[in-house]
Structure 1
Amino acid sequence: MASDPLFERLWNGSAPMEEWTAAVSDGAITAVADGIITVHTTYFCGSVTAIRTMEGLVLIDTAKPDTAQRTLEVIRSWDDSPIHTVIFTHGHIDHTSGIAVIDAEADARGVPRPRIVAHRNVRRRMERYVASHGFNSIVQGQQFNKPGYVYPIGQRQPDEVYDETLSLTIGGERLELFHGRGETDDASFVWLPERRVLASGDFVIWVFPNAGNPRKVQRYAAEWAVALRHMEQLRPAILIPGHGPVVFGEARALQMLRDGAEALEHLVRETLALMNRGATLDAVLHAVKVPAEYLAKPYLLAKYDDPEFLVRNIYHFYAGWFDGDPAHLKPARTAEIATELARLAGGAEKLAERAAILSEQGASRLAVQLAELAGAAAPDAPRIQAIRASVLQKAIDGESSLMGKAFLSVYQRQAQERAG
């Protein structure tokens, strides 16, 4: 395949992913191999790969609610055959929601709806989303800055599930599905051995692995690395990430997989080394860092998740919820602590003023802690809440990860509202 100038600039770090997102925003086809394309509409929507077979199309993932229709239209501009099988690489809505549009098309054409194949835990995930619908809506709204967001539930569940591996032959095309745990416990990656094409799902996402999201269920950094090592051993010639552009050439595909695995392995190894010596979460969080050479890779930038969040997630995977601080075993209410500290400091306003000074000095973490205590001690004091909002804004400005910015912004808006 001829070299793509934009891809080359993404690979060497001279172009941001936002430029690529703008370039594909109307729906773009990447010709992966003979009879295989990948469709993108935005970085934030999972890639959708279509494979032409003698029995109809096989799709790997289906897009998210607001891009599913356009994605299907782009696929139809390439091939109008019935869709025979859909593979969900995992149960997140940016990979599963498009099935509603696909089913509606099949119904309108009077042809059977496609079979859905996925790991067994996709069904459990969909059931959990129903059980925690209110909370999940709140969290998604916070993470993506969409107040009032309602998480879509009710997607059609898989027809065929598997546990560890599944071999499919559809219309002469052989596909191998492998289960792994990483961002989710229901993840699959898809290998086309005759083509040496690998669809990684969200094990590869063109940013640092998303294994630490602060408000989501347990994620699996160590097993994510194991899955990447498995993919590396397959030696793909073409790598289709779950998000971001397709990677052509064995050398680059292997580099991407290897670098991601090494970065995760480092975090797990260093976290466990400290834990095995009895370190508390506080000590681990401030000691374990990703080597700078990994974070400098254009496909491992900490723009979405934060490696520090991964360290916390790794700690809790092995240690449970208690962080080793006896004050946190059965903690006092935050408002009580805040009121007592404000009294000792000479009033909540003193705490807030000190937070503002620390913020200006660049001590953002300590500033936010004091500002939140001041705000909890005096939730209805406009001046204190205004200082709190200012301190949080400074923290947001200094935060590199989308998640860090998003969650801090939730409380910054709250402070602004209370400040009037």
Structure 2
Amino acid sequence: MKQDPLFERLWDGTAAMEEWTAAVSHGAITQVDDNIITVHTTYFCGSVTAIRTAEGLVLIDTAKPDTAKQTLDVIRSWDDAPIHTVIFTHGHIDHTSGIKLIDEEAERRGVPRPRIVAHRNVARRMQRYVDTHGFNSFVQGQQFNMPGYVYPIGQRRPDAVYDDTLSLSIGGEKLELFHGRGETDDATFVWLPERRVLASGDFVIWVFPNAGNPRKVQRYAAEWAQALRRMEALKPETLIPGHGPVVFRAERVSRMLSDGAEALEHLVGETLALMNAGATLEDVLSKVKVPANYLAKPYLLPKYDDPEFLVRSIYHLNAGWFDGNAAHLKPARTAELAAELADLAGGARKLAERAETLAGQGQSRLAVALAELAAAAAPGDPQLQAIRAATLRKLIDSESSLMGKAFLAVYEREAEGRSKG
């Protein structure tokens, strides 16, 4: 299958993913095979793949709440057969939420609702979202700058679950499901052996692997790499990523899978080597970096997650929450520490002034540390909050990852509000 010119520019790094998102915003179809399409509406919504079989359609994922109808309409423009089976590659809402509209359509037509197949942990994830609904809504609102956001819960849970692998035969189409842990612990990738087509779910997302989100549950960088190696060994000729355009040609698919695995293996190996030598988390963070040749690849840009966050995740998975600094084992309250340091410095204003100086010298991380202490020592001082906001803005401007920018911006907005009294 020939790739289009925009894909070629994405592949060589001369086009940004934002251009692709704009190009597919109307609801675009990629023809994967004679009886397979993938529907795209935006990079931020998971890809939805439809497979035509003698028993009806099989869908891999279902879109997010605001794109589910558009996605289903596009599928219906291609084939109007009943939907027989839906496979969830994992339990995130941008892959599961469309099931509500699909079920409603089945009821209107008087046909059975589709069977949902997924890994066993998808149902556990959905229950955790119910149990932590307030927190999850709060964090999602912060991460995507949506104050007051309410995370949607109540998606229908799987009818059939599996543990490691599952083989399906539906209407003459063979599908093999494989479990792996990466961004989530409930992830599935789907292999169509007779067509040599691989649907990776979010193991491939056209940016650096999202295995270190600062405010989400544990992610699994080492096992993510193992899953990519497992996919590579299948020798797929077509790759349908969880996000982003479909990749054709075996050599490109192999390179994409191998590069992602190697980058993760490097982070895991370097982190563990330092841990085994007795390094603290601070030491590990200062020394473990992804080689620049990986970060330069257009499908491994650190635009969403930050490799530094992945190092933290790898450390905490293997070492627990304590980072090796004695002051952090039973830490003093920040306000008390800030008051003591402000007193030593000659007042909170002195700390803030030093923060301004450091920010002007490009030492944004240290500047933010002092600005936060100054604001904690004198939280009612609007001038200190203004300095805090300006210092945070300098650090935000130097960040490449969406997550880094988003979470820092939460505190910038807070400081700006307090600076106005």
Task: Identify whether the pair has TM-score above 0.5, normalized to the shorter chain.
Answer: yes
Aligned to 1:53: 53
Q: How far has the Cα of 1:294 moved from its partner?
A: 0.1
Aligned to 2:257: 257
Alignment coverage as a number of residue pairs: 420
Q: How far has the Cα of 1:360 moved from its partner?
A: 1.0
The one-letter amino acid of 1:159's match is D
8 Å CA contact 2:2–2:248 kept in 1: the answer is: no
Q: How far has the Cα of 1:378 moved from its partner?
A: 1.0
Secondary structure at the counterpart of residue 166 of structure 1 = strand
Aligned to 1:232: 232
Aligned to 1:374: 374
Cα distance per residue 1:255-275 (max 9 Å; x no partner): 000000000000000000000
Secondary structure at the counterpart of residue 107 of structure 1 = helix
Cα distance per residue 1:321-374 (max 9 Å; x no partner): 000000000000011111111111111111111111111111011011011111
The question of 1:153 aligning with 2:161 is answered no
Aligned to 1:6: 6
Secondary structure at the counterpart of residue 149 of structure 1 = coil
Alignment of 1:188-267 (within 5 A): 188-267=188-267
Secondary structure at the counterpart of residue 194 of structure 2 = coil
Aligned to 1:72: 72
Q: d(CA) in 2 for partners of 1:169 and 1:176?
A: 9
Aligned to 1:39: 39
The one-letter amino acid of 1:91's match is G
Q: How far has the Cα of 1:75 moved from its partner?
A: 0.3
Q: How far has the Cα of 1:2 moved from its partner?
A: 2.6
The one-letter amino acid of 2:56's match is G
Aligned to 1:273: 273
Q: How far has the Cα of 1:110 moved from its partner?
A: 1.1
Alignment of 1:347-366 (within 5 A): 347-366=347-366
Q: How far has the Cα of 1:138 moved from its partner?
A: 0.5
The question of 1:327 aligning with 2:342 is answered no
8 Å CA contact 2:141–2:147 kept in 1: the answer is: yes
Secondary structure at the counterpart of residue 203 of structure 1 = coil
Q: d(CA) in 2 for partners of 1:79 and 1:3?
A: 23
Cα distance per residue 1:263-310 (max 9 Å; x no partner): 000000000000000000000001000000000000000000000000
Cα distance per residue 1:166-191 (max 9 Å; x no partner): 00000000000000000000000000
Alignment of 1:122-161 (within 5 A): 122-161=122-161
Q: How far has the Cα of 1:34 moved from its partner?
A: 1.0
Q: Which moved more, 1:40-49 or 1:351-360?
A: 351-360
Q: d(CA) in 1 for partners of 2:382 and 2:293?
A: 45
Q: d(CA) in 2 for partners of 1:95 and 1:356?
A: 44
Aligned to 2:23: 23
Q: How far has the Cα of 1:108 moved from its partner?
A: 1.0
The one-letter amino acid of 1:209's match is P
Q: How far has the Cα of 1:109 moved from its partner?
A: 1.0
Aligned to 1:411: 411
Q: d(CA) in 2 for partners of 1:54 and 1:355?
A: 67
The question of 1:318 aligning with 2:318 is answered yes
The one-letter amino acid of 2:317's match is F
Q: d(CA) in 1 for partners of 2:354 and 2:126?
A: 46
Secondary structure at the counterpart of residue 183 of structure 2 = coil
8 Å CA contact 2:3–2:248 kept in 1: the answer is: no
Cα distance per residue 1:202-229 (max 9 Å; x no partner): 0000000000000000000000000000
Q: How far has the Cα of 1:3 moved from its partner?
A: 3.1
* Root mean square deviation of aligned Cα: 0.4
Which structure 1 segments of 5+ residues have no match? none
Q: d(CA) in 2 for partners of 1:371 and 1:74?
A: 51
Q: How far has the Cα of 1:32 moved from its partner?
A: 0.2
Q: d(CA) in 2 for partners of 1:2 and 1:410?
A: 44
The one-letter amino acid of 2:75's match is I
Secondary structure at the counterpart of residue 57 of structure 1 = strand
8 Å CA contact 2:29–2:38 kept in 1: the answer is: yes
The question of 1:104 aligning with 2:104 is answered yes
Which structure 2 segments of 5+ residues have no match? none
Secondary structure at the counterpart of residue 399 of structure 2 = coil
What is the identity percentage for the equivalent residue pairs of Structure 1 and Structure 2?
80
Q: Which runs of 4+ in 1 moved over 3 A?
A: none
Cα distance per residue 1:83-126 (max 9 Å; x no partner): 00000000000000010111111111111100000000000000
Secondary structure at the counterpart of residue 42 of structure 2 = coil
Q: d(CA) in 2 for partners of 1:371 and 1:34?
A: 59
